[in-house]
Amino acid sequence: MQSLKIYVWGTQYFIDTYAGGLQSDCDKHGYALTVGVVPDADNFSHINHYIHRAMVDTVNNAEPTDRILFLDPECRIVKPIPEDWIQDTRPILCYKISDGKLDINRYEYGHTLPGPIQMQPIFLTAQDSGWIQWWYDASMAASDTDRNIYVPHELFLELALKFNNIDIHMEHCVYNREWSQPQRVVKGSFVTADTIITHSDIHALMDPHVKHSVQDIKDSPFIPTRKLHNHFDNFETIKQIDELMYKEQHDITKWPEGTTQEGNWYCIDNWQFDPRKGRVKHRQYDAVRYHMSIDTKCNQNLNTPAVKSFFNSYGMD
């Protein structure tokens, strides 16, 4: 009989700010949670290297009856983890679903999806120590350790599994909410009837104290559509809001039921929208971004009031 043991790591700031929800979930379900603190570093890859090393050490020192679950501190356990996942002796890994119309063998990569497998959640046992060490060694061989630049630990994960002929239990991490199959693990904070684990990633974009894996995304004035969609509760509502933002509709009676107004901000769910200027905010953060409809209209050479406001904000003509 295997016993579930959950592990997370992060910098002290990250743990203090984002691990509370997962701790409450584990308390609720009676799961053993180990929280580890890694040093802060000058870049995202160096922090991830510390976490990667801690993961390998954990597997190498596991007890035979341990069912290890690696999560990120910001993950949430929405409902109990299936017992067959806990008792399965195979690794459970989640392939990323970018587009519901494409099966996994025709996966389309993007710069936000550096590898086909989502790093967390991942379920392991002590029997996985051999290929886990191979995976770590391959990652280290491809890294520039003299400059503390490390490859994403997802990069060689699938290679390690295939090279070592590992039999896995495949699940999926859903990036695209249009996917019609059960969404048991999702990249975002949204929850469906099937959802077991959520893996939010809005903090890396909106929190100035958190490093992002892709600095160009962090520095961009726009909020990527997936980030907005996957951190909004009702999918149909956020798609309706996309249209309202494109039209710069500031008649609140045209907005979804439940929208309230605070100055120029239209508030719904955990978000605030300014259709006059194309701006977007999350209630938890001070950062202000621009809706992707502004970028769309710029590419269409539409010089609307919101587009003019955007260019004025960035000192452009």
Question: Over the range 81-95, which residues count as b (16 or more CB within 10 Å of their CB) and which as e?
Answer: beeebbebebbbbbb
Structure confidence at residue 314 (pLDDT): 73
177 lies in the same domain as 103: yes
Assess whether pLDDT exceeds 70 at residue 160: yes
What value does the mean pLDDT take over residues 220-243?
96
197 lies in the same domain as 89: yes
| Of residues 22 and 181, more confidently modeled | 22
Domain harbouring 195, CATH code: 3.90.550.10
What value does the mean pLDDT take over residues 32-45?
93
196 lies in the same domain as 304: no
In the chain the first and final C-alpha atoms are separated, in Å, by 67
What value does the mean pLDDT take over residues 258-273?
97
Q: Convert the pLDDT of each residue in 194-214 to its tens digit.
A: 999 999 999 999 999 998 877
Give how many domains the chain has, as a whole number.
2
192 lies in the same domain as 48: yes
Range of the domain at 276: 220-313
Out of 214, 249, 271, pick the residue that ends a domain: 214
160 lies in the same domain as 191: yes
Structure confidence at residue 152 (pLDDT): 86
Band (175; pLDDT cuts 50, 70, 90): confident
Question: Residue 10 is inside which H or E element, if any?
Answer: strand 3-10
Structure confidence at residue 102 (pLDDT): 44
22 lies in the same domain as 109: yes
Angle at 251 between CA 246 and CA 257, to 5 degrees: 90
What value does the mean pLDDT take over residues 231-253?
97
250 lies in the same domain as 127: no
Band (165; pLDDT cuts 50, 70, 90): very high
28 lies in the same domain as 114: yes
Assess whether pLDDT exceeds 60 at residue 99: no
What value does the mean pLDDT take over residues 232-247?
97
Band (110; pLDDT cuts 50, 70, 90): very low
37 lies in the same domain as 91: yes
What value does the mean pLDDT take over residues 271-286?
97
116 lies in the same domain as 65: yes
Q: Letter for the amino acid at 202?
A: I
Out of 176, 199, 214, pick the residue that ends a domain: 214
202 lies in the same domain as 229: no
Band (97; pLDDT cuts 50, 70, 90): confident
Predicted structure pTM score: 0.92
Angstrom distances, CA of residue 94 to CA of 76, 106, 276, 289 = 16, 16, 40, 30
Structure confidence at residue 109 (pLDDT): 35
Structure confidence at residue 181 (pLDDT): 87
Structure confidence at residue 114 (pLDDT): 58
238 lies in the same domain as 260: yes
Question: What is the average pLDDT score of the chain?
Answer: 92
Out of 158, 181, 214, pick the residue that ends a domain: 214
